[in-house]
Amino acid sequence: MFGEFLRKYYDPKKIKLLALGSETLTSTHRNRLKTIYPNAQIADLYGSAEIGQYIFYPCPKIVAEEKSWFHVLQPPLIKAEIIEGELVITYANNKAMPLIRYRTSDYFEIVSNNCGCGIKGPIFAWSGRKGVDKVKVAGVEIKIEDVERVFNKISHLTGDKYQLHFYESRDESGIKIVVEIIEPATVLKILPPENVKETIINHLMNNWHLSSTAKLKDVTDRGLFLTPEVKFVKEFSFKSAKTKHLVSHLSENN
C-alpha cells in the first residue's frame, strides 16, 4: 500500500534506506522491497512491545550483506540470552515494571561471537515467532518463509493478503487447510472465481514443499493432509494487530 502511494507522488528510486520492524522480513519480502526500492538499503530492526523500543539492530556491514542478523543495543538492554532457542531478556530501565529474564516467545540463534565491523558481543539471527512465523502441523513444521515463497509465484492471483488455517477434520482423517484470500477484485473481474481457486489449489499441491522430500500433494496422497479449500473473503476470520498468515486451530499435542 505504501509503495503504491509513494510511486504516485515520489520516485522510489530516490529512497536510500528502509528501516523495518514489527513483522518478519523474509527473503521473499526483502526481494519484493528491492524491486520497488532498487537503490535502498534495508535495515531489519527488532523490538519488544513490552519494552516499547528497538533492542536489536544491524550494523552497516550486516545491512550491506542483506541479512536478518542483529547486535544487542546496550543500554538499555542489560542481558540477552537464548534458552532452548527462545530469546530471554533483562531490561531494568522501567523502574515500575522491570523485566527480569523475560521470555519473549521470539526465537533466535547466535551465529557468531564477533563481527567484522568491530562491535563487540554476539550476533543474533532471527528464527521466527512461535505460532506466528511457524506452526507445527501433524509433525511438520510449517514456516512462513516457505509459505511466502510459494504464494509469491501466484501473487497475481492472491496478492499478499492471505491467511492459512489448519484444522482437524471431523469427517475425514488428515489435516484440513483453509486458505482465506481477501478478494482480489481485478482478477475476479477477468476470471471466474472457481477457475482461480482451482489454479491456486493446483499450484499449492505441486509447489509447496513441506519438507526436502515431500510436496503438499505427497502428504495428501498419504492421507496426512486434505486437499486445500480456498475462500475469497471480505476480511479474515482471524484478526490480530500484526499480519498473521498462519493460524493453527489444532490441539497443542497434534
Q: What is the pTM of this model?
A: 0.70
Residues 231/184, Cβ–Cβ less than 8 Å: no
User: Burial of 180 by CB count in 10 Å (0-12 exposed, 13-18 middle, 19+ buried)?
Assistant: buried
Q: How far apart are CA 38 and CA 88, in angstroms?
A: 36
CATH number of the domain that residue 51 is part of: 3.40.50.12780
Give residue 8's pLDDT: 80
Inter-axis angle of helices 144-152 and 27-36, to 10 degrees? 40
- Whether residue 139 is found in the same domain as residue 185: yes
Domain count, the chain: 2
pLDDT in tens, 24-42: 788 888 888 888 899 999 9
pLDDT (mean) for 173-185: 87
pLDDT (mean) for 182-194: 78
Q: Is residue 158 situated within a structural domain? A: yes
Confidence at 253, pLDDT banded by 50, 70, 90: very low
pLDDT in tens, 91-134: 877 777 888 898 888 889 999 998 999 999 999 998 877 767 88
Q: Is residue 253 situated within a structural domain? A: no
- Whether residue 59 is found in the same domain as residue 166: no
Give residue 122's pLDDT: 92
Q: Is residue 254 situated within a structural domain? A: no
Q: Collapse the DSSP code of 122 into the 3-class scheme (helix H, G, I; strand E, B; otherwise coil) and give the result.
A: strand
Give residue 104's pLDDT: 85
- Which of 100, 124, 120 is CA-nearest to residue 51? 100
Domain limits at 196?
Answer: 134-248
For residues 252 and 239, the model is more confident at 239
Task: For residue 247, give the amino acid letter.
Answer: V
User: Burial of 166 by CB count in 10 Å (0-12 exposed, 13-18 middle, 19+ buried)?
Assistant: buried
Dump the DSSP string for 33-51. HHHHSTT-EEEE-EEETTT
Confidence at 56, pLDDT banded by 50, 70, 90: very high
Strand partners, 58: none
Confidence at 207, pLDDT banded by 50, 70, 90: very high
Q: Is residue 120 situated within a structural domain? A: yes
Mean pLDDT, the chain, whole residue set = 87
Task: Give the CA distances from residue 128 to residues 49, 135, 169, 231, in Å, rounded to whole numbers and listed in that order.
Answer: 16, 10, 27, 27
- Which of 158, 138, 132 is CA-nearest to residue 216? 138
Give residue 92's pLDDT: 77
Give residue 3's pLDDT: 66
- Whether residue 48 is found in the same domain as residue 67: yes
Give residue 77's pLDDT: 85
Residues 47/55, Cβ–Cβ less than 8 Å: yes
pLDDT in tens, 217-248: 999 999 999 999 999 999 999 987 777 889 99
pLDDT (mean) for 128-157: 85
Domain end call among 128, 159, 193: 128
44: cell is 531489519
Confidence at 167, pLDDT banded by 50, 70, 90: very high
- Whether residue 68 is found in the same domain as residue 83: yes
- Look at the alpha carbons of 107, 31, 159, 231 in this order and tell me if their dihedral is positive or negative: negative
